[in-house]
Chains A and B, each alone.
Chain A
Amino acid sequence: MEAGVPIGAQLRPDPDDVPAEATVLRMLLGAQLRRLREAKGVSPERAGYEIRASRSKISRMETGRVGFKIRDIEDLLTVYGVTDQQQRSDVLALARQSTAPNWWARYGDIMPAWFETYLGLESAALTIRSFEVQFVPGLFQTEDYARAVTRLGHHSAPADEIERRVALRMKRQDLLTRPGPPRVWAVMDEAVLRRPYGGATVMRAQLHRLAEAAKLPHVTLQAVPFTRGGHAGASGAFSILRFQERDLPDVVYIEQLTSALYLDQRADVEHYLEVVDQLSGEALTPAETTAFIEQVARET
């Protein structure tokens, strides 16, 4: 799996054709435009004509190879007979998201393209479900914990680079406090709470932070204690991102050492959905989890 090239038929344009900045978000939106066009029986030629463009422009849009103009999307939705205001605004919101200047652009030098892709998806998601086996989810990490984890991964990096990486992670957490935040539902193995990155003091602060985060109305945390062993998550960590638009598929994100894997084919996604559903049934309830986190903090 080459870094930054997502897999899955809908997300698989000719690899040679994918510029580095192609985002999964754009591909998802493109695939959705294609479905809407085909459902209405509109030819690419006619669609191109309607927005004063060529057939190949439509094709490039539908495979996520070019950015979108909001006006073009509005016109296309009309041509495709999409009159439902909610559906129109869902699609347009995604289109705006895909064209918005990204706050993380200035971290480009320390961030691989596949992670930029993830940030784009994360900021467009309605719901983020994840399973963590080792690390506290990035959205809830304290600065000290993030620094300890970052040092492990980049032990030869100069101090200022480490600080910028930590700053990026902290900036990413703005997602949780913005208006209309995504719903974040994380299931964590007990190991996440026990492994004291940065030492006991850092870890205790981190655990208190988790307990605080759990109070946010759009955050749900569930721990899977060691005593409920043999859980479905033997697979390792992953996230599932869900989008508001009804026809957009969920996307599974699996981070690897030097790249990331994105899955959006229903059969693949469902395997992970099943694992996370099973885990959320096996894990402690959110209320029990808060008590458990506080207990682990006392023992740390």
Chain B
Amino acid sequence: MTSDEPAAPGGGSAGKAKPPTFDTSVANQARIYDYLLGGKDNYAADREAVDAVLKIAPEMGFTARENRAFLGRAVRYLTAEAGIRQFLDIGTGIPTAGNTHHVAQATAPESRVVYVDYDPIVLAHARALLNSSKAGATEYIDADLRDTDTILSRAGRLLDFTQPVAVTMLFILHAIPDSDDPHAIVATVLDALPPGSYLALSHLGSDIFDEEAQQGFQSIVGRMSQQQYTGRSREQMLRFFKDMELVEPGLVRIEEWRPDPGTLSDYKSTAWGAVGRKR
């Protein structure tokens, strides 16, 4: 049950650099996540998929909420402590409370955020709902994560690549199968950025996700969703941060990454999270 197995039928690199068709009869990762977070921008097929997932992996709701909380803490750290003012948020998802530019601009109103998503409907929501502060700026790019040329050339219009940039890829890389070489994709993006830039990642962990539940999850996602699922282990996660310096406490479960005082519960998520600094 790791990424080395072949992707489920219909998955793999099918749809590479091609936006998903808008089809509400099948589930969609952005809308699944919206539903898990209590949003209203989802359809019956998304809710069916989530209900099926929650039967075999009831912690998925907690994991989704913790991923959102991880985004908040990571971006707050990057803005307030690491002094980052430029963000490249790849895999934006349907806007909800506490989006990247809200968090960043709460600390540093001049922060500039480029949102990237390959789903045109998600991006329409982002354009409508994610308004920048007056001092800062937000921009939106329609692009697949695998299309790094488009992302980098267009992001370069709003962001200054001679200054540090924080790249966030939260709950997106598990939709990229190994056949598309996600490690090379991440490396290409980071290569374009100067030392002192950051990478924040979260990813469902194949080694902290109960084996049986994970197989069920992969099967449900494979059958019911437009995106596929590839779990990755701690070791595979660390490879994304090759040659980088991990910010304390390193690679941990998302809820354990610099938790706010008094917020840790007995629940455990099934996702790894880390923030690294480019040397």
Q: How large is the interface on B (under 10, 10 to 19, 20 to 34, 35 or more residues)?
A: 10 to 19
A220 to B131, CA, bound (A): 10
Q: Which residues of B contact A183 (CB under 8 A)?
A: 128-129
CB distance from A274 to the nearest CB of B (A): 5
- The answer to whether residues A278 and B121 also contact, given A246-B38, A250-B40, A270-B24 and a CB cut-off of 8 A, is yes
Interface segment, one of A28-36, A73-81, A280-288: A280-288
Q: Does B127 contact A (CB under 8 A)?
A: yes
Q: A183-B129, A217-B131, A274-B24 are in contact. Are A281 and B44 (CB under 8 A)?
A: no
Which residues in chain A, 174-222, are within 8 Å of chain B measured between CB atoms? 183, 185, 217-218, 220, 222
Q: Given A278-B121, A280-B121, A285–B40 Cβ distance below 8 Å?
A: no
With the chains together, A285 CA to B128 CA distance in Å? Answer: 9
Contact B22 A220 (CB under 8 A): no
C-alpha spacing A273/B121, complex, angstroms: 12
Q: With an 8 A cutoff between CB atoms, is B216 at the interface?
A: no
Q: Is B43 an interface residue (CB 8 A)?
A: yes
What A residues does B80 contact at CB under 8 A? none
In this assembly, does A277 line the interface, its C-beta being within 8 Å of a C-beta of chain B?
yes
Which residue from B22, B44, B123, B129 sits with its C-beta under 8 Å from A278? B22
Is B187 in contact with chain A by the CB < 8 A criterion?
no
- If the complex has contacts A220-B127, A281-B120, are A270 and B43 also in contact, measured as CB distance less than 8 A? yes
Is A242's beta carbon under 8 Å from chain B?
Answer: yes
For the complex, give the distance between the alpha carbons of A102 and B75 in Å.
43
Number of interface residues of A (CB under 8 A): 21
| Residues of the B chain whose Cβ atoms lie less than 8 Å from the Cβ of A234 | none
Q: With A and B bound together, what is the CA distance between A246 and B124 in angstroms?
A: 22
A contact residues around B127 at 8 Å (CB)? 220, 285-286
B102-144, CB under 8 A of A: which get 1 and which 0?
0000000000000000001101110111010000000010000
CA distance A266 to B47 in the complex (A): 12
Report the separation of the CA atoms of residues A281 and B21 in the bound assembly, to the nearest whole angstrom. Answer: 11
Q: Fill in one digit per residue for B47-66: 1 if any A CB lies within 8 Å of its CB, else 0.
A: 00000000000000000000
CB contacts (< 8 Å) of A217 on chain B: these are 131
Q: Top 10 closest A-B pairs, CB basis?
A: A280-B124, A220-B128, A281-B120, A281-B121, A217-B131, A185-B128, A281-B124, A274-B24, A277-B121, A246-B38
CB-CB contacts of A249-292 with B at 8 A, as 1s and 0s?
01000000000000000110010011001101101011000000
Interface-centre pick from A217, A220, A281 (highest chain B CB count, 10 A): A281
Of B22, B24, B128, which is in contact with the most chain A CB atoms at under 10 Å from its CB? B128
Contacts of A220 in B (CB 8 A): 127-129
Residues of A within 8 A of B128 (CB): 183, 185, 220, 222, 280, 286
Give the interface of A toward B (CB within 8 A). 183, 185, 217-218, 220, 222, 242, 246, 250, 266-267, 270, 273-274, 277-278, 280-281, 283, 285-286
* Complex interface: chain B residues within 8 A of A242 (CB): 40
Please provide the chain B residues from 216 to 245 with a CB less than 8 Å away from any CB of chain A in the complex.
none
Q: How far is the CB of B27 from chain A (nearest CB, A)?
A: 14
Query: Which residues of B have CB within 8 Å of A246?
Result: 38
Residues of chain A with a CB closer than 8 A to B41's CB = 273, 277
A285 and B40 alpha carbons, distance in the complex (Å): 22
Find the B residue at minimum CB distance from A266: B44
Shortest C-beta distance, A231 to chain B (Å), equals: 12
Chain B residue nearest to A185 (CB atoms) is B128
Give the chain A neighbours of B123 by CB distance below 8 A: 281
Closest to A220 in B: B128
Q: Which residues of B contact A218 (CB under 8 A)?
A: 131
Query: Chain B residues with Cβ under 8 A from A250's Cβ?
Result: 40
Q: What residues of B have a CB within 8 angstroms of the CB of A277 in the complex?
A: 22, 41, 121, 124
Sample of 11 further A-B pairs with CB below 8 A, known A274-B24, A281-B120: A217-B131, A220-B127, A220-B128, A266-B44, A267-B44, A270-B43, A270-B44, A278-B121, A281-B123, A283-B124, A285-B140
A242 and B43 alpha carbons, distance in the complex (Å): 15
Per-residue A-contact encoding for B12-27, CB less than 8 Å = 1, 0 else: 0000000000101000
Which residue of chain B is the closest to A243 with respect to CB atoms? Answer: B40
Hey, which chain B residues are within 8 Å of A278, CB to CB? 22, 121
Q: Which residues of A contact B131 (CB under 8 A)?
A: 217-218
> Hey, which chain A residues are within 8 Å of B125, CB to CB?
280
| Identity of the chain A residue whose Cβ is nearest the Cβ of B39 in the assembled complex | A246
A–B Cβ pairs within 8 angstroms, 27 of them = A183-B128, A185-B128, A220-B127, A222-B124, A242-B40, A246-B38, A250-B40, A266-B44, A270-B24, A270-B43, A273-B41, A274-B24, A277-B121, A277-B124, A278-B22, A278-B121, A280-B121, A280-B124, A281-B22, A281-B120, A281-B121, A281-B123, A281-B124, A283-B124, A285-B124, A285-B127, A286-B127
Q: How far is the CA of A250 from the CA of B131 in the complex (A)?
A: 23
